[in-house]
Amino acid sequence: MKLDLVELLVVRLPLVQPFVTANGSTTEREVLLVHAIGDDGEGWGECGAETTPAYWWETVSSAREVLPSIARGESVAGHPMAHAAFEMAVLDAELRARNTSLAAHLGASRDRVTATATAGFEDDVESFLGAGYRSLKVKVTPDRPLLRISWSDEIVTQVDANGTYAREPGRVRELDELGLLAIEQPLATEDLSGHAALSRELRTTVCLDESVSSLDALDAAIAHRAAGAMTIKPARLGGIAAAHAAHDRCVEAGVVMKVGGLLETGIGRAAALAVAALPGFVWPADLSASDRYWREDITDSFVLDASGCLAVPDGPGLGVTVHVDAIERSTVWRNRVQL
């Protein structure tokens, strides 16, 4: 499809409640959106970057700066989240024009994906169980470990340390008796040998997240046998095609995978659900219903079904109806790139 115009918009959306992790507290989210308009239709993309580099080096500002060049087809090294946002918008436009869903385009094998509620330090886990989640992820640090699980063992539970056990690696063992599905990123991003040692020692599967920062990093982690499971965040790898490649590499290596979340709006969530429906993503996705984070999403809401799953959109493109009026109301910055 020939693109005529790429519109970049930053929307500011309040969270239902603050999300508090080892990386800080988030009370609202500024999200950079890409609206690609071509001769045969239009599409939307979302950038995973946040306003600060607390979790990942790219920011809304850095993506804003490079996206006009990416849209013009100029060479832009690095900036995977900016590239991913543009790729998503163009793919959405092309697939809508071809009347094909992203899930079908990727070769998805399921129409529902088990959702996970991620509990920050100030969240009430019981409220997530009451809302129907069957999979939980609890943020931990050595100062705020999970000591026991007070809910039914039918609930799949993981912990996510965001690398904070690097200063007290021996204490990861405290988490090994809890019957967890996984201990996510206990050690530092670069510490593949430390994670490999933990993987050999622990009964619980070690899952990498921050360490999976690129396809090369994924290959290195697989070669080191650093973990039995990997978190694939499409935006961080450079987009949907890169996530598909990561999926294939993990399947070949016999490594379990899940799709990671980045406080997405419905646009990014739709794309992530299509990826999570690929056959190798056997673990619950780190994706939740819209009302976990947003008072008002910018697409039709994603709602949990009775078994704690989210439906994979099957409409053309991303398969969600984008609420342009909600986007207009919350837009705080925009830039039009005429092509």
Residues labelled as active-site residues? 139, 233
Q: Report which residue type is found at 145.
A: P
Choose which of 87, 94, 209, 264 interacts with Mg ion (CB under 5 A). Answer: 209
Q: Give the CB-nearest residue to Mg ion.
A: 209
26 and 13 Cβ atoms separated by less than 8 Å: no
Which residue from 258, 26, 264 is spatially nearest to 135, judged by alpha carbons?
A: 258
121, 126, 282, 311 from 138: Cα distances, Å: 8, 12, 20, 23
Q: How far apart are CA 63 and CA 67, in angstroms?
A: 6
Pairing mode, if any, of strands 182-184 and 156-160?
parallel
Q: Report which residue type is found at 38.
A: G
Measured from the CB atom, the residue of 138 and 312 that comes closer to Mg ion is: 138
Measured from the CB atom, the residue of 50 and 160 that comes closer to Mg ion is: 160
Q: Which stretch binds Mg ion (CB under 5 A): 37-45, 83-91, 139-147, 203-211?
A: 203-211
Shortest spacing between CB 45 and Mg ion, in angstroms: 23
Shortest spacing between CB 233 and Mg ion, in angstroms: 9
Q: Which stretch binds Mg ion (CB under 5 A): 4-12, 46-54, 142-150, 208-216?
A: 208-216
Choose which of 160, 191, 264, 297 interacts with Mg ion (CB under 5 A). Answer: 160
Rg of the chain (C-alpha set)? 19
- Rounded to the nearest 5 percent, the helix, strand and coil shares of the chain are 30, 25, 40
30, 231, 329 from 332: Cα distances, Å: 9, 32, 9
Number of residues that bind Mg ion (CB under 5 A): 2
Q: Which stretch binds Mg ion (CB under 5 A): 160-168, 188-196, 221-229, 318-326?
A: 160-168
Shortest spacing between CB 337 and Mg ion, in angstroms: 33
Shortest spacing between CB 147 and Mg ion, in angstroms: 20
- Applying CB under 5 A, the residues found at the interface with Mg ion are 160, 209
